[in-house]
Amino acid sequence: MKRYFTYKNEKTEKFWSVDIAGETITIVYGKGHTLGVTHTKKMESAEAAEREVKKMVKEKMRDGYRETVEKVIEKLGQADFWNLIERAKANSEDVESQVELLTEYLSQRTVEDIFEFKRIIDQLFAKSYLTNLWGAAFLMNAGCSDDGFDYFRGWLIAKGREVFQSALENPDNLAKYVSEDDYNFGEYESEEMMNVAASAFIAKTGGTLDDFYDSIPKNPRPELEHDWDFEDDDELKKRYPKLYKKFGG
């Protein structure tokens, strides 16, 4: 059962919540009117998790926190967008289950927030529509079509703000975030991530895809000039030396 606590004085307002699922403890904390930061902790048993939660609750109460009803946050912003992504990621085993959980979280928000989520993700797709990132996607997925690059960027956003920003700074940085142990090694795509807002809208309203897309601005794909050949092995090795060690040859 999830428990929610708040702390408030003349200078600040904070919240802290805790939830148990078997041996796993999920903690969310932050300033008021945000989604907060999510951390998970796995104990050796469900009983140990319950004991740990009791200890944490006691400490929070001693620090001045009071148990209350969880607030519904009124407006979604950039920080909340990424916190939703991270929260779903922390409670999932793979991207597919992360997208399902993210859709569930988003469907609990207002319709306005669902539209705002779509607006933000469209901005991120536009920001990441870059030739050098496309080349990295081509290398990592052994080929990458127009649609495939959309799906790659869906996967990239699902990885969270740190990975997304690092990839935009230098796509070769992605080498440190992937390994052969990944469940989808060589398949770095998430088409479903592109449809989270639409799926949440349908779950929230009972409407249709047409209802959703009739309610939002159209964002056509911009023109992008390829100034080098993705199939040039020497060029790939030069531009992405770290990624090439993992995926090239």
Give the pLDDT confidence score for residue 184 in this predicted structure: 59
pLDDT at 248: 82
Instruction: Using alpha carbons, select from 120, 122, 27, 25 the residue that is nearest to residue 79.
Output: 120
User: Which strands make up the sheet holding 13-21, listed edge to edge?
Assistant: 37-42, 24-31, 13-21, 3-8, 66-67
DSSP per-residue letters across 71-98: PPP----HHHHHHHHHHHHHT-SSHHHH
Crossing angle between the packed helical segments 95-107 and 196-205, to the nearest 10 degrees: 40
CA distances, 73 to each of 28, 77, 113, 162 (Å): 14, 10, 10, 24
What are the residues whose beta carbons fall under 8 Å from the beta carbon of 25, sequence distance 6 or more?
Answer: 18, 19, 40, 41, 42, 43, 49, 52, 53
> For residue 44, what is the DSSP state?
S
- Collapsing DSSP to helix, strand or coil, 52 comes out as helix
Residues linked to residue 28 through DSSP beta bridges, in sequence order = 17, 38
29/16 Cα distance (integer angstroms): 4
Length of the chain: 249
In this predicted structure, what is the pLDDT of residue 76?
Answer: 76
Domain ranges within the chain, ordered by starting residue: 3-67, 78-247
Q: Enter the tokens of residue 224.
A: 């992008």
- Cα R_g (the chain), whole angstroms: 21
- pLDDT (tens place) for every residue of the chain, 249 residues total: 678 899 988 888 888 989 888 888 988 888 765 656 778 888 999 999 999 999 999 999 999 999 986 654 456 788 889 999 999 999 988 899 999 999 999 998 888 899 999 999 999 999 999 999 999 999 999 999 999 999 999 999 999 999 999 999 999 999 999 876 665 555 799 999 999 999 999 999 999 999 998 888 777 767 777 788 999 999 999 999 999 998 886
In whole angstroms, what is the distance from residue 238 CA to residue 178 CA? Answer: 19
Reference 217, options 121, 130, 145, 144; nearest CA is 121
Q: Looking at the domain 3-67, which fold is it?
A: q64v53_bacfr protein fold (2.20.140)
d(CA 76, CA 86): 15
pLDDT of residue 180: 64
